[in-house]
Chains A and B, each alone.
Chain A
Amino acid sequence: MKPFDYVRPATIAEAVTAAAQPGATYLAAGTNLLDLMKGGVSRPDRLVDVTHLQGLDKIEHLADGALRIGALVRNADLAHDAAFAKAHPAIAEALLSGASAQLRNAATVGGNLLQRTRCAYFYDPTSRCNRREAGSGCDARGGENRLHAVLGWSENCIATHPSDFCVPLVALDAIVEIEGKSGRRELPLDELHRLPGAAPQRETALEPGDLIVAVRLPATARDFAGHARYLKVRERTSYAFAVVSAAAALRIENGKIREARLALGGVAAKPWRARAAEAVLKGAAPEPSAFSEAAQAALTDAKPSGDNAFKIELARRIVVRALTLAAAGTPARIPALPASPFASGALHA
């Protein structure tokens, strides 16, 4: 690991100033960053440790009905918060389907949003990677790429974003609160991660020094609590990243879908909101024909980036299954195998 300077700011303003310097990066739990530093993938000159900042570890219920989650809330603490899990069951299920219990105890909300791709070529400093080193090339193209992107990719980068948490968050219109050099601003989560285009090294909309301080869910997000699921296909039943995942949330009244939310994970460089599919579902009866039509709409623009054409059909089927599960109703308790298609009740839904 390359040597670095360590600073522990006392305030958010101090943190922003310290992290705006070239070569500086924020440290929260470090569950992803330290792994990348040990592998020589990330080589910061300075770590700005935000874990001792006060006030960023709260879950707050705001007067307008919104929920504000501090950036330093640990993934496990959020998922196990009873009021949160009741109001936002698909998000709790997604959190519990990610990583291991040890990692969820450490990993923070802000860090989860900013975790890096798990593309093996990004992780291997001896490979060419435009995301890690601008202009160096992409060894994933033509390489081992069966798990890579099928939506929103470019010739320069076919990596995917690995977060489970972000998938239901983006479906439910989460807002990211950011403290930066010119004060506080906010951004829809959908605009935080960038598609690779010609500049995959620019992974997010954040500027140097920008610190995510909270994630906010609007009051309307809890309207879906009765019909919200996260479903994730992975190569092991537990402790594995998504091959394809989907968050589905429905508001059903009088036998019709009044409003639908759908997002996909594991398919693109960002959590993928499927708005065309949502439009198909609005006003329809919650039945297989509507779910199939939505699945077609969600994947209309998909194309393989390598040996991964199977992910397109897999994604369609995950969409249908997730919508079917959501329509059946949120279970009283998150299944023993969170988000798994092998969880009891999920197989024949």
Chain B
Amino acid sequence: MTHSISLTVNGARRDFQLDDPRVTLLDLLRERLQLTGTKKGCDRGQCGACTILVDGKRINSCLALAISHDGADILTIEGVARGDQLHPVQAAFIAHDGFQCGFCTPGQIMSAIGMMREAQAGDDPERIRECMSGNLCRCGAYAGIVDAVLEVQTSEANQRRSA
């Protein structure tokens, strides 16, 4: 039996026919839309490389069935920059060397963007580390990652104060 679903992906509505309900959001993004920025690391919800925002919240796309998310609004790493203008989190990762090989980076950045929307960590490095614990980096770029997230959190807090 074929199922029809529609998603909004990075602002554009996309319709899909699924002849097998086993497709995860991760595989749908990578194989049906060629949005390969979202990475398949462990595929079991342990590494965070597949992190995307669904209806504004960060989740592991490897543990989400596409068919169950009919109607969802999805943001992936391909959708965060505005043309050539990087998202502030992307720019901060470059400025602080928040990566080495880069495989975990899209997941790290999506997770950081989701974390900022959750507004729980503030500019406390210990809370940032805790709130980012669902994203593993096997190169060990954690120090740069925390610095990058901290910089964006701090500058956003300053902008709010001066606004």
Contacts and interface: CB of A to CB of B under 8 A. Distances in A.
Given A30-B63, A35-B45, A336-B124, A102 B58 contact: yes
B118 A30 contact: no
B51 interface: yes
A328 interface: no
Given A3-B20, A30-B65, A337-B130, A103 B60 contact: yes
Interface in B36-67: 43-45, 48, 51, 57-60, 63-65, 67
A6 interface: yes
B130 A336 contact: yes
Interface in B118-148: 118, 120, 124, 126-127, 129-135
Contacts of A100: 48, 133-135
Contact of A336 (B115, B127, B132): B127
Nearest to B22: A1
Interface string A30-44: 110011001100000
Contacts of A338: 130
A31 B65 CA distance: 10
A5 B65 CA distance: 13
B54 to A, nearest CB: 8
Contact of A238 (B58, B60, B130): B130
B81 to A, nearest CB: 22
Contacts of A27: 65, 68
Contacts of B132: 101
B41 to A, nearest CB: 12
Interface residues of A, number: 32
Interface in A1-34: 1, 3-6, 8, 27, 29-31, 34
Secondary structure type dominating chain B contacts: mixed
Given A4-B22, A6-B3, A49-B68, A102 B124 contact: no
B118 A80 contact: yes
B151 to A, nearest CB: 19
Given A6-B3, A30-B64, A51-B68, A101 B114 contact: yes
Contacts of A106: 59-60, 63-64
**For chain B, which range describes its interface: under 10, 10 to 19, 20 to 34, or 35 or more residues?**
35 or more
Nearest to B132: A101
B21 interface: yes
Contacts of A105: 57-59, 114
Most chain A C-beta atoms within 10 Å of own C-beta, residue among B1, B21, B124, B130? B130
A213 to B, nearest CB: 18
Nearest to B110: A102
Contacts of A78: none
A337 B130 CA distance: 6
Contacts of B64: 29-30, 34, 106
Contact of A6 (B21, B45, B57, B120): B21
Contacts of B21: 4-6, 47
A219 B141 CA distance: 47
Nearest to A51: B68
A239 interface: yes
B10 interface: no
Given A35-B45, A80-B120, A103-B45, A30 B68 contact: yes
Given A103-B134, A336-B126, 14 more contacts: A3-B22, A4-B21, A5-B1, A6-B65, A35-B63, A49-B67, A80-B120, A102-B48, A102-B59, A102-B114, A102-B134, A103-B45, A103-B63, A336-B124
Interface of A: 1, 3-6, 8, 27, 29-31, 34-35, 38-39, 47, 49, 51-52, 76, 80, 99-103, 105-106, 238-239, 336-338
Interface of B: 1, 3, 20-22, 24, 43-45, 48, 51, 57-60, 63-65, 67-68, 70, 111, 114-115, 118, 120, 124, 126-127, 129-135
Which 9 A/B pairs are nearest by Cβ-Cβ distance?
A100-B134, A238-B133, A6-B21, A336-B126, A239-B133, A105-B57, A336-B127, A106-B59, A102-B134
